């Protein structure tokens, strides 16, 4: 890794070793390349990190500020958003209520149809069975009774 030419040579060595032997296309060494392409290893083991409190505080403050601002914005938007969601819900409930009221009307119509006098008589005529005499309880005559049969002959 000493020179750029060496690098190129290393790169090209693996790909075309045969051609390298036939023709010399290597770049010539650049003037002062050993200086320009010198890489000096830096040893930071001796460096001591000094805590910069101001910068840290500033960074944390910045982050905190951004978060606080975000929370504030979200908090400000939250009631509006919530009311929007609730409004949607209320509207859907209103429509559902209308549908249920309509269904109720429809059910009432069906019920009235089944309870109509003609229908009741139709079913009474088909399904009614006269109960046995001893299965019928007769209440004692009330105050409004204007005539009653005597108990004996």
Provide the binding-site residues for other proteins, judged by CB under 8 A: 84, 87-88, 91, 94, 98, 102, 105-106, 108-110, 112-113, 115-118, 121, 133-134, 136-140, 144-147, 149-153
CB of 73 to other proteins, least distance (A): 21
Helix (H, G, I), strand (E, B) or coil at 114: helix
Return the number of the residue (51 or 137) whose C-beta is nearest other proteins.
Answer: 137
Q: Shortest gap between Cβ of 108 and other proteins (angstroms)?
A: 6
Question: DSSP for 42-111?
Answer: ---TT--PPP-HHHHHHHHHHHHHHHHHHHHHHHHHHHHHHHHHHHHHHHHHHHHHHHHHHHHHHHHHHH
Residue keyed to tokens 């819900």: 89
Our CB check for other proteins shows the closer of 70 and 87 to be: 87
In the complex with other proteins, the residue whose CB is nearer, 34 or 121, is 121
């Amino acid at each position: 890794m000493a020179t750029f030419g060496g690098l190129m040579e290393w790169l090209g060595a693996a790909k075309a070793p045969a051609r390298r032997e036939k023709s010399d296309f290597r770049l010539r060494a650049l003037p002062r390349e050993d200086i320009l392409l010198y890489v000096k290893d830096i040893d930071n083991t001796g460096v001591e990190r000094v805590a910069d409190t101001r910068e840290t505080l500033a960074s944390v403050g910045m982050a905190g500020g951004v978060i606080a601002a975000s929370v504030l914005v979200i908090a400000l938007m939250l009631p509006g958003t919530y009311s929007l969601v609730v409004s949607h819900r209320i509207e859907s409930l209103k429509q559902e209520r209308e549908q249920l009221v309509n269904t109720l009307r429809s059910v009432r119509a069906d019920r009235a149809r089944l309870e109509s006098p003609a229908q009741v008589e139709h079913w009474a005529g088909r399904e009614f069975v006269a109960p046995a005499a001893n299965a019928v309880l007769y209440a004692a005559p009330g105050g409004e009774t204007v005539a009653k049969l005597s108990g004996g002959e």
